[in-house]
Amino acid sequence: MMDWTDRHCRFFHHQLTREALLYTEMVVADAVIHGARERLLGFDDSEHPVALQLGGADPGKLAEAARIGEAFGYDEINLNVGCPSDRVQSGTFGACLMKTPVLVADCVAAMKAAVKIPVTVKCRIGVDEQDPEPALDALADGVFAAGADALWVHARKAWLEGLSPKENRDVPPLDYGRVYRLKARKQNKFIGINGGIQSLAEALRHLDHVDGAMLGRAAYHTPGILTGIDAAFYGGTAEPFDFAALIDAMADYAARHIEQGGRLGHVTRHMVGLFHGLPGARRYRQILSTEATKPGAGPQVLKAAFAEVDFGRTAEAA
């Protein structure tokens, strides 16, 4: 998610779940090819498994960008066919590609030919006046014929004119049934679902119908829910999560980032919702939003914020 799932966010989320596949922000193929690669693509080894999401509509450029991503060590390359922002529309990529499934298939074929790692696509069920039945089928048929390893579907339309990017994540109604029907047609292909999933229990219910569930905003705003993923989905042990060890790891990470010229707030801004619902979470949040953003703030600010959280009492008792 752009501006959210940067490398610091992914490092943090990976402390909460070792198994879940994390995605980068969308990076435009041209930027990968011509931009400051280390800044755009660099990540910590501990982030695996991690997928690089690309934006673009030129098969040759996407192939080149995918090759660069593979060489950087990414585990998967994902093509964005779902982002409705104005900037993206003007570059003819993102959600407007729902209207040109043959071009999307060409892009996937070129990327597949360029790399050995999986190539996947994330799309909508349709855009504008499209009927989601044929529109999603055409997109899916094309990308799977081109060799795509998975299709993730944000289960709502995008309206390219008239709605802001933010509204396009909320206003068009969710239609999970449309994604389930796609899966029923594509028994032997990986179909994942996204959009509006608030909890791991909801994610689990989707797995009765599709192969994967992707969380966006819920994962970002309430990252504590990620601590249940490894046990619920990957056969991990359901031991109580060690939040003190997490904060130590994040403080060490932040110290390294600060040593390299970064700021504490770059790291802690992603951690604000961690203790959502616990006594002391408000004070923790306040410290991260004020003290931790000040120039010169050090990792001890994170530790001081954590000291405010009271694991001994329930939220109701507070």
Q: Is 26 in the site for ligand FMN (CB under 6 A)?
A: yes
Q: Is 215 in the site for ligand FMN (CB under 6 A)?
A: yes
Least Cβ distance, residue 169 to ligand FMN (angstroms): 5
How does DSSP assign the chain, residue by residue?
-TTTSSHHHHHHHHHH-SSSPEEEEEEEHHHHHHS-HHHHH---GGG-SEEEEEE-S-HHHHHHHHHHHHHHT-SEEEEEE----HHHHHTT-GGGGGG-HHHHHHHHHHHHHH-SS-EEEEEES-BTT--HHHHHHHHHHHHHHTT-SEEEEESS-B-TTTS-TTGGGTSSPP-HHHHHHHHHH-TTS-EEEESS--SHHHHHHHTTTSSEEE-SHHHHH-GGGGGGHHHHHH----PPP-HHHHHHHHHHHHHHHHHTT--HHHHHGGGTTTTTTSTTHHHHHHHHHTGGGSTT--THHHHHHHHT--SSS-TTT-
Scanning 64-72, 98-106, 131-139, 210-218 for contacts with ligand FMN by CB under 6 A, the matching segment is 210-218
Applying CB under 6 A, which of residues 104, 197, 229, 247 lies at the interface with ligand FMN?
A: 197
Instruction: Out of 9, 83, 96, 123, pick the active-site residue.
Output: 83
81 or 138: CB nearest ligand FMN: 81
Residue 301 phi, psi dihedral angles, 5° rounding: -65, -40
Applying CB under 6 A, which of residues 154, 157, 257, 270 lies at the interface with ligand FMN?
A: 154
Determine whether 123 is an active site residue.
no
Least Cβ distance, residue 69 to ligand FMN (angstroms): 15
Q: Is 89 in the site for ligand FMN (CB under 6 A)?
A: no
Q: Is 269 in the site for ligand FMN (CB under 6 A)?
A: no
Which residues inside 162-191 make contact with ligand FMN, applying CB under 6 A? 169
121 or 274: CB nearest ligand FMN: 121
Q: How many CB atoms lie within 10 A of CB 317?
A: 8
110 or 155: CB nearest ligand FMN: 155
Least Cβ distance, residue 150 to ligand FMN (angstroms): 13
5 or 15: CB nearest ligand FMN: 5
Total residues contacting ligand FMN by CB under 6 A comes to 21
121 or 302: CB nearest ligand FMN: 121
Locate 201 and state its tokens. Answer: 């229990």
Q: Is 217 in the site for ligand FMN (CB under 6 A)?
A: yes
**Interface ranges with ligand FMN (CB under 6 A):** 1-4, 25-26, 53, 80, 82-83, 122, 154, 169, 194-197, 215-218
- Any idea which residues carry the catalytic annotation? 83
